[in-house]
Structure 1
Amino acid sequence: MEDKTEEVIVEKMSFNGTIPLDLYKLLKMESVRRGINIKHYIVEILSEHAETLRSKFPA
């Protein structure tokens, strides 16, 4: 079965990359609920989990 997951480009932040569209929509809803910009919310989440991400994806 072909993967039809669309991706959203996330640029001009601490990283450049893509995230699945469904994840982007969930993050967008939560950022609106919190009253903050989606990019700031993504950076906040990445900052909270930076150590875990570094250990899983070493430079």
Structure 2
Amino acid sequence: MRHKTDWFALLAGLLFIGIGVRYLLRPQPDTLVMGLLLVFGLGFAGLVGVMARTMRRR
């Protein structure tokens, strides 16, 4: 049985992996920039997730 891709979970996971790699490469990044990146990245992932769910129902 195949299941549909959860785009929000996929993009949010990639975002957190990217942030983790960023902290490993340079231990002291700007926290304001990283916080904004996290908020906007999760917002974008949520938007993509909602759009994918809407398209799937059609």
Tell me the TM-score normalized by structure 1: 0.32
Q: Which has the higher helix share?
A: 2
Q: Which has the higher strand share?
A: 1
Tell me the TM-score normalized by structure 2: 0.33
